[in-house]
């Protein structure tokens, strides 16, 4: 997998922005089959920073309804990437 396939998009939520400011942790949606090592290398190459730790979780898609029709959103994988002390935080939230 290439780094563009491993990291799909940043997850910019209220919780993600608070973690970014307080704990130096970035939040990404990643490929469901990507492991922690692949996520670490992709973030280090893409943003040119050093990664301290990676935590991942698999999230199940929620049930969504449109009137009488119902379906599920797709399952996805989230990764929290903590940067080492002294590393510059990338500013992807303003893009």
pTM: 0.87
Residue 69 lies in a domain: yes
With a cut of 90, say whether residue 94 has pLDDT above it: no
Instruction: Compute the distance between CA of residue 35 and CA of residue 40 in angstroms, rounded to an integer.
Output: 9
Supply the range of the domain harboring residue 49. 3-83
Number of Cβ atoms within 10 Å of the Cβ of 81: 25
Contact at 8 Å (CB) between 54 and 78?
Answer: no
- Structural domain count of the chain: 1
Note whether residue 48 is domain-resident: yes
Establish if 95 belongs to a structural domain. no
Q: What is the CATH number of the domain that holds 77?
A: 3.30.70.330
In the block, residue with structure tokens 């929620």: 62
Residue 90 inside a domain? The answer is no
Asked if residue 14 is part of any domain, the answer here is: yes
Tokens representing 27 are: 């939040």
Look at residue 87 in the predicted model and tell me its pLDDT: 87
pLDDT, tens digit, for every residue of 45-54?
999 999 999 9
Whether residue 43 is contained in a domain is answered as yes
């Amino acid at each position: 997998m290439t780094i563009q396939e491993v990291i799909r998009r940043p997850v910019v939520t209220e919780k993600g922005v608070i973690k970014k400011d307080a704990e130096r942790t970035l939040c990404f949606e990643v490929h469901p089959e990507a492991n922690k090592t692949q996520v670490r290398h992709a973030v280090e190459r893409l943003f040119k920073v050093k990664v301290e730790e990676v935590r991942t979780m698999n999230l199940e898609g929620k049930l969504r309804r449109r009137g009488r029709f119902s379906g599920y959103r797709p399952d996805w994988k989230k990764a929290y990437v903590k940067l080492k002390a002294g590393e510059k935080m990338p500013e992807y939230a303003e893009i």
